[in-house]
């Protein structure tokens, strides 16, 4: 029974780390990246799709993103979605492509983005702590109901703590790397 909750905590930790990485990828750095625009939702053809389902996305250099829709009729819908996505940039329709030029980040904006990274890492830590508390509670209940021994209780408790510590180290490393990218100290 407790092994199930260890597996559940491992899965929760893995999901939390993956979700954090996805959220950090959406935070703009000084370099262009397809991840900045690929998951922007577009209303097109009566459906709600993401840009990467409608177009190819390329980064010809460190300041530009080039979006080439596979269906030319979707170009206006994609441009409109990108304008409303609060990316801090204006898409420019150029023939069959959409070009986004990223302006350099100001020092103030870099600090704000670095702070946002810290907030997202902290949110992920909270999610992980909740998952740990849930697993610990089940483990404690099993011990109180005498379904596991004291030795097994402490062994599983240590395993839960080890999983959480490793996940937190991974989350912190991802956050620090992103902050270095933003602040230009990578």
Quick one: 43 and 133 in the same domain? no
137 burial class (0-12, 13-18, 19+ CB within 10 angstroms)? Answer: exposed
Mean pLDDT of the chain: 89
The residue range of the domain holding 64 is: 34-101
Residue 2 has pLDDT above 60, yes or no: no
Q: For the whole model, what pTM was predicted?
A: 0.74
Whole-number percent of the chain with pLDDT over 70: 97
Q: If you write DSSP's letter for every residue of 77-90 in order, what string do you get?
A: HHHHHHHTT--S--
> Torsion angle, CA of 20/22/24/25, rounded to 10 degrees?
160
- pLDDT for 1: 56
* Of the candidates 176, 179, 168, 177, the residue with the CA atom closest to the CA atom of residue 12: 168
- pLDDT for 87: 76
Quick one: 127 and 178 in the same domain? yes
Helix (H/G/I), strand (E/B), else coil: 101 = strand
Quick one: 165 and 124 in the same domain? yes
Quick one: 82 and 67 in the same domain? yes
- pLDDT for 16: 95
* Of the candidates 88, 108, 89, 112, the residue with the CA atom closest to the CA atom of residue 179: 112
Q: Which tens digit of pLDDT belongs to each residue from 15-65?
A: 999 999 988 887 877 777 888 888 889 998 888 989 999 999 999 988 899
Cα Dmax for the chain? 72
CATH of the domain at 126: 1.10.132.20
- pLDDT for 105: 81
Residue 157 has pLDDT above 80, yes or no: yes
Helix (H/G/I), strand (E/B), else coil: 86 = coil
CATH of the domain at 43: 3.30.1360.40
């Amino acid at each position: 029974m407790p092994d199930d909750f260890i597996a559940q905590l491992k899965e929760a930790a893995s999901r939390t780390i993956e979700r954090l990485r996805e959220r950090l990828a959406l935070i703009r750095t000084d370099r262009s990246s397809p991840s900045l625009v690929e998951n922007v939702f577009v209303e097109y053809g009566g459906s709600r799709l993401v840009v990467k389902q409608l177009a190819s996305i390329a980064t010809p250099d460190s300041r530009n993103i080039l979006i080439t829709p596979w269906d030319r009729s979707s170009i206006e819908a994609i441009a409109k979605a990108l304008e409303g996505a609060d990316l801090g940039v204006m898409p420019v329709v150029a023939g069959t492509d959409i070009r986004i030029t990223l302006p350099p980040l100001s020092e103030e904006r870099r600090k704000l983005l670095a702070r946002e990274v810290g907030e997202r890492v902290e949110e992920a830590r909270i999610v992980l702590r909740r998952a740990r508390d849930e697993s610990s509670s089940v483990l404690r209940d099993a011990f109180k109901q005498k379904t596991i021994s004291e030795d097994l209780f402490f062994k599983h408790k240590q395993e839960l703590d080890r999983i959480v510590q490793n996940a937190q180290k991974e989350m912190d490393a991802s956050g620090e790397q992103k902050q270095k990218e933003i602040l230009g100290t990578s």
